[in-house]
Amino acid sequence: MAKKDKYLVGLDIGSTKTSILIAEIEGEFVKFLALGAAESKGLRKGLIVNLDSTVSSIRRAVEEAEGVANVPVQEALIGVAGNHVRGVNSRGGITLGPRPRDIEREDVRRAVDAARNISLPEDREVLHVLPHEFIVDAQDSIRDPVGMVGQRLVANVYVVTSSIAASQNLVTAANKSGILISDTVLEPLASAEVCLTQDERDLGCCLLDIGGGTTEIIAYGGGVVRHIGVVPIGGDHFTNDLAVGLRTPTPEAERIKRRHGWAASSFITDNGAIEIASVGDRPPRAIFPHMLTDIIEPRAMELLSLIRDDL
């Protein structure tokens, strides 16, 4: 951005749309300025399959947001997701010295560094290290050990890793669109920051991001991330089922799904006929809401059972 620390820009390249958000930093707060979105077809399950079309959808989204915010975008944070992302529990620690002493912020950083030191295949990198708890000598379940006294500090962490090539291709696409990438963020983690309250994270909850081609899962318990996962079913599967099942063009299936679709028949309130386009030159037909649910509900059940298996 023009003044580097004044603005915050987030870029999300999805399999159906690319979004860019521009915000202004005002002290401790960020103020929303603009959102730009463009249809995207260059990504599948978090991996770029067509670089040129990804670049052009980033450009279109950026132009839209720049026009509204009246700020040129030069640098952005980019979201990473998809089934190349994995999470593993890890543990590591440091000895503080021959005698117990006060634990400082730097000690915590070193303990977390020791815990993140897992052996990774050459094609993978660490995206995030999320501390679960700290153990000072024999005392466990410590959230923040700074200021406590001990001889040994151990960190239990959740290490999120991603494919270097997959992340690099996203960065390359952004660079080709004229944007530098300052950092990468796991998308479900960013969603959780926005959508979940601390109480929900403490009590335990699961957040789903049902995208076009995949559903991202992030589960919290005791205030921290316990699990991340991805299921290869998203909204586009529902649309395709409707297009095939009702013999209608895909854009019409998408429209009908959004306007009239319910995930379960018990939600249906209006049983009136719905006009739907046919394929080819055939005239439009009338269908009824339960015919949509008959197709949507099994797919929703499949999605939920895969999510349960993943958890």
Ligand X SMILES: Nc1ncnc2c1ncn2[C@@H]1O[C@H](COP(=O)(O)OP(=O)(O)OP(=O)(O)O)[C@@H](O)[C@H]1O
Number of Cβ within 10 Å of residue 175's Cβ equals 13
Asked if residue 14 binds Mg ion (CB under 5 A), the reply is yes
Sole residue written with tokens 């958000």: 21
Which of 39/104 has CB closer to Mg ion?
39
Classify the phi-psi angles of 177: left when phi > 0, otherwise alpha if psi is within -120 to 50, otherwise beta.
alpha
Which of 17/247 has CB closer to ligand X?
17
Which of 57/90 has CB closer to ligand X?
57
Which of 163/214 has CB closer to ligand X?
214
Which of 13/136 has CB closer to Mg ion?
13
Task: Report 255-294 residues binding ligand X (CB under 6 A).
Answer: 257-258
- DSSP letters, 64-133, are HHHHHHT----EEEEEE-STT-EEEEEEEEEE--SS-EE--HHHHHHHHHHHH-----TTEEEEEEEEEE
Q: Which of 231, 191, 237 is nearest to 212 (CA)?
A: 237
Helix, coil or strand: residue 160: strand
Q: In the complex, what is the shortest distance from the CB of residue 160 to ligand X, in angstroms, rounded to a whole number?
A: 17
Number of Cβ within 10 Å of residue 116's Cβ equals 17
Task: Report 35-64 residues binding ligand X (CB under 6 A).
Answer: 43
Q: Which does 239 bind (CB under 5 to 8 A by kind): Mg ion, ligand X, none?
A: ligand X
Q: In the complex, what is the shortest distance from the CB of residue 24 to ligand X, in angstroms, rounded to a whole number?
A: 24
Task: Report 179-218 residues binding Mg ion (CB under 5 A).
Answer: 211
The mark string for 3-22 relative to ligand X (x by CB under 6 A, - otherwise) is -----------xxxx-----
Q: Which of 132, 286, 97, 298 is nearest to 223 (CA)?
A: 132
CA–CA distance, 13 with 170 (Å, rounded to integer): 8
State the number of binding residues for ligand X (CB under 6 A): 16
Which of 87/211 has CB closer to ligand X?
211
Could you tell me how far CA 270 lies from the centroid of its own chain?
A: 34
Q: Which does 176 bind (CB under 5 to 8 A by kind): ligand X, Mg ion, none?
A: none
Tell me which stretch binds Mg ion (CB under 5 A): 8-16, 49-57, 83-91, 275-283.
Answer: 8-16
CA–CA distance, 211 with 39 (Å, rounded to integer): 13
Q: Which of 200, 236, 297, 310 contacts ligand X by CB under 6 A?
A: 236
Site for Mg ion, rule CB under 5 A? 14, 211
Site for ligand X, rule CB under 6 A? 14-17, 43, 211-214, 234-236, 239, 254, 257-258
